[in-house]
Copies of this chain bind each other. A is one copy, B any other.
Amino acid sequence: MSGTMKQVVLASYAKGNPKPSDFRIEQVPVPEPGEREMLLQTLYIAVDPLIRFSLDEKLLSGASRMDLGAVMVGPTVCKVVASNHPDYSPGDFVEGRTAWAEYAVVAPDQSDYRGPPRKLDPSLAPVSTALGALGGPGQTAYEGVVNVGRLKAGETIVVSAAAGAVGSMAGQIAKALGARAVGIAGGEAKCKALLDLGFDAVADYKEPDFADQLKAALPEGADVYFENVGGDVTLAVLPLLKRGARMPMCGFIAYYGVGMEGPGPDHLPGFYRHIMAKGLEIKGFAGIFAGQKGLDDIAGWIKEGKVRFPESLVDGIDAVPEAFSSVFSGHDHVGKLLVRIAPET
């Protein structure tokens, strides 16, 4: 294969929330696969908010920094175009972590701890779900609700960023387990979408009466708080947690641009006071631990019609910087936000 393609590189480190101008689109030759390598055509790029951690100029805890000018990398679904590797054939669909580019060369033998690209069966579910319900976000929701949150039938969970890829799955998994699910999202459209997905109640954090909405949605408090956000949303949730509540934490998008210290006052004393007064349990986690069991359970729930997988699509690699930035500014999309780079067929 010859010709040129577009790719997204890091133009400047993010200050606060990422902006489209932090990235640059470059036109480069399509790469050639070497021995035991393959050439992938990118179909979908998932603009994963966790990528933000790599975009700080000054390295912070938990981050591994990108170089300026380097090609961005993240979760994708691709189609094999050419393969010099016996395990993959042209036409295969795969999910992996590859370049934000129209094409990418991958060496399956040199994969990191996530393993080589995962082959997808398009007859089981749309391949794009490998980036959502049947991928990292689904596993993250499962791990948080089932394993870390230990949510039981009859209990109540409250989910922040509930209209997002992880949050919308967390609420649906809670319902599938026989629990009550309350979602927090911004804007009427998102809140309505959550009720359509089966959430029992919602609270709109963009409304001035958010705290009252939340109180009304949680008349007896919550047993589990699925934490995606931090900041003002969390300060409103904490007083509503029950004694012994669990707080699985898989993200905190309100703080991604803040670094280690935000503007005062210091909310850590109040956070401590809630932890002690109620015997709260807080645990940071990543979805990868849910493993295949999580994906199998979710696939079963999808089959039974208990779980749906909402997606929002935007088109073309030129849209990636804007789509990624929108994740941090409270966009209007519901479910997993994907950029479609090329049609599947």
Q: Is A249 an interface residue (CB 8 A)?
A: yes
Tell me how many chains of this kind the complex includes: 2
Query: Once the chains bind, are B279 and A270 in contact (CB under 8 Å)?
Result: no
**A1 sits at the interface (CB 8 A):** no
Mask of A254-282 contacts with B, CB within 8 angstroms, 1/0:
01001111111111111111111111111
Q: Does A192 touch B at the CB level, under 8 Å? A: no
Interface pair A266/B267, CB less than 8 Å apart: yes
CB-based contact A230/B264 at 8 Å: no
Task: Identify the stretch in A81-89, A283-291, A313-321 within 8 Å (CB) of chain B at 4 or more residues.
Answer: A283-291
* In the assembled complex, A251 has its CB within 8 A of some CB on chain B: yes
Cβ of A69 within 8 Å of any chain B Cβ, yes or no, is no
Give the residue among A251, A259, A270 with the most B Cβ atoms within 10 A. A270
Q: Which of B255, B269, B279 contacts A272 (CB 8 A)?
A: B255
> How near does chain B come to A218, taking the closest CB pair, in angstroms?
16
A301: CB under 8 A from chain B?
A: no
Structural contact, A281 and B280, CB atoms closer than 8 A: no
A328 within 8 A of B: no
Q: Is A62 close to B, CB under 8 A?
A: yes
Do residues A259 and B269 form an inter-chain contact, with CB atoms below 8 A?
A: yes
CB distance from A117 to the nearest CB of B (A): 26
Knowing that A61-B239, A266-B267 are A-B contacts, what are 4 other residue pairs whose CB atoms are under 8 Å apart, sorted by A's residue number? A263-B265, A264-B266, A276-B284, A281-B284
- Chain A residues within CB distance 8 Å of chain B: 60-63, 230, 239, 249-252, 255, 258-286
